[in-house]
Amino acid sequence: MELGFSFATPLRYAGCLILLLLRLEFFRDKEIKMTTESLENNALAKKVILVTGASQGLGAEVAKSCAAAGATVVLLGRSQKKLEKVYDEVMAAGDAEPFAICFDMMGAEELEFEQLVRTLADATQGKLDGVIHCASYFYALSPLDFQTVAEWVNQYRINTVAPMALTRAVLPLLKESPDASVIFVGESHGEAPQAYWGGFGASKAALNYLCKVAADEWERFPNLRANVLVPGSINSPQRIKTHPGETAAERKDMADITPDFVWWASEQSKGRSGEIVYL
By C-alpha distance, which of 134, 129, 113, 112 is closest to 48? 129
- Say what the pLDDT of residue 218 is: 99
Q: Is 243 helix (H, G, I), strand (E, B) or coil?
A: coil
29 in a domain, yes or no?
Answer: no
Q: For the residues of 2-40, what is the DSSP string, one character each?
A: -----THHHHHHHHHHHHHHHHHHHHHHHHHHHHHHTPP
- Say what the pLDDT of residue 39 is: 80
259 in a domain, yes or no?
Answer: yes
CA distance 177 to 165: 19
4 in a domain, yes or no?
Answer: no
CA distance 186 to 229: 6
* Amino acid type, 200: F
- Say what the pLDDT of residue 251 is: 78
Give residue 111's domain range. Answer: 42-278
37 in a domain, yes or no?
Answer: no
Q: Where are the beta strands (DSSP E) in the chain?
A: 48-52, 72-77, 99-102, 130-133, 180-185, 224-230, 276-278
How many domains does the structure of the chain reveal? 1
246 in a domain, yes or no?
Answer: yes
33 in a domain, yes or no?
Answer: no
Identify the sign of the CA torsion 264, 77, 64, 173. Answer: positive
- Say what the pLDDT of residue 29 is: 47
pTM: 0.85
Identify the CATH number of the domain in which residue 129 sits: 3.40.50.720
- Say what the pLDDT of residue 3 is: 47
Give 244's DSSP letter: T
Q: pLDDT tens, position by position, for the chain (279 residues)?
A: 444 545 455 555 555 555 555 555 444 544 555 466 678 789 999 999 999 999 999 999 999 999 999 999 999 999 999 999 999 999 999 999 999 999 999 999 999 999 999 999 999 999 999 999 999 999 999 999 999 999 999 999 999 999 999 999 999 999 999 999 999 999 999 999 999 999 999 999 999 999 999 999 999 999 999 999 999 877 777 777 777 777 777 778 888 999 999 999 999 999 999 999 999
25 in a domain, yes or no?
Answer: no
224 in a domain, yes or no?
Answer: yes
